[in-house]
Structure 1
């Protein structure tokens, strides 16, 4: 849980509680889903899949904002070493690496969608590029809710902006 304090606080300060909370929760679900697909006769619990999701989101943010980082290689190596060490610890019995990998992949993908990208001017405009190169948040919410209820979607969009 000490990792959550170090990683979570840093991410929340930069990107906000709601965005990081969404990544954290959905990464936990993603880790649980992958774990249940590959380890069907055991139940695992814990926050490690969600924590790996935050690491995945950090990696996607680093890749997306590569041009604005001053010490690129050090940031990338630090993140990759942390992930590698934690996956190596997953060789121990009773550690669910499938949850770690599922959480990491979920956080990695969500990081591209939910975290701001200042080099594209997203911090100032608070919207996505008009060329359609990235799925818009509105499209993501349509997929997520699969609902025609515009009130819920509009309230969430307003809250995120």
Structure 2
């Protein structure tokens, strides 16, 4: 006597590995979405999207890493005020931006400076500098909202990885599109958090058009392209980097059979590529 093989309700040619924990539909690996207990089918995932995303910014655990990042940004800004005076509050470019901001190459006080001169630390330090109090407040408000969401969604480790990858990808994008500009700000990493949330939602069966962040992203992109002086490369690079890290951690990394160490290694490799690419562009080795 033969036993009939149960097939996926969406893909009749695929054998079903498990059943949906909500509706008991048989689902294949392509349709499996990780839930708090077992797996859900795409329909149940979409219907239950509010359990994760309706309260973006609402807290279930204390977002310690988000708070630490905000504290570092504020502390760096206060150091800038102490070094450069009141001009730092109004948005003037001071010693902090010149010494730690992102730029490929420049000449300052009798010597060449920049990433192309071996100052690779600028790829990171620039992400904690801001041009004035308003710039800082806007970015910290966005970091508080989006950081809460990502840290609650994926935990501190994933949030830290996404933030780091986004920051480095934003630096790479800024050096590609505006290597001679002195760039600073956390907005590249913040755009990356938005990209990660979009890909996490997609992994849960929530389309881009259904995302509550869609209009927020579109509005920020309009500002990016419409207001002079904003780093287009930094914002787009961060967005792409965060989306890539979000897909790796929240989609690919949650698939059955994937080694849990592999997504972190992949994000690390992506970050290294961003650093290498930044150095190459800063030295003019790539067109």
Question: Under a length normalisation based on structure 2, what TM-score does the superposition of the two structures give?
Answer: 0.41
Aligned to 1:39: 178
Aligned to 1:58: 197
**Cα separation, partners in 2 of 1:74 and 1:139, compared to 1, 3 Å:** closer
Q: How far apart, CA to CA, are the structure 2 residues paired with 1:51 and 1:58?
A: 11
Answer yes or no: is the 8 Å Cα contact 1:28–1:49 preserved in 2: yes
- Bigger proportion of residues as helix: 1
C-alpha displacement of 1:138 = 6.5
Is there any run of 5+ residues in structure 2 with no aligned partner, and where? Answer: 1-139, 273-287
**Cα RMSD (Å) of the superposition?**
2.8
**Cα separation, partners in 2 of 1:93 and 1:142, compared to 1, 3 Å:** closer
- RCO comparison, higher one (Cα < 8 Å, 6+): 1
Is there any run of 5+ residues in structure 1 with no aligned partner, and where? Answer: 123-127, 147-161
C-alpha displacement of 1:109 = 0.7
**1:71-150 counterparts in 2 under 5 A?**
75-76=210-211, 78-90=212-224, 91-115=226-250, 122=254, 128-130=255-257, 136-137=262-263, 140=266, 143=269
**Cα separation, partners in 2 of 1:145 and 1:31, compared to 1, 3 Å:** closer
Which has more radius of gyration?
Answer: 2
**Cα separation, partners in 2 of 1:39 and 1:140, compared to 1, 3 Å:** same
Aligned to 2:151: 12
C-alpha displacement of 1:140 = 2.0
Aligned to 1:3: 142
- Bigger proportion of residues as strand: 2
Task: Provide Cα deviations, 1:4-56, integer angstroms capped at 9, x if missing partner.
Answer: 11111122112111111110111011011011111121121100000000000
Question: Under a length normalisation based on structure 1, what TM-score does the superposition of the two structures give?
Answer: 0.69
Q: Does residue 1:24 correspond to 2:168, yes or no?
A: no
C-alpha displacement of 1:116 = 6.3
Q: How far apart, CA to CA, are the structure 1 residues paired with 2:208 and 2:270?
A: 35
Q: How far apart, CA to CA, are the structure 1 residues paired with 2:267 and 2:191?
A: 23
Answer yes or no: is the 8 Å Cα contact 1:113–1:137 preserved in 2: yes
| Residues matched between the structures, number | 130
C-alpha displacement of 1:113 = 1.2
SS for the counterpart of 2:182 is coil
Q: How far apart, CA to CA, are the structure 1 residues paired with 2:271 and 2:223?
A: 36
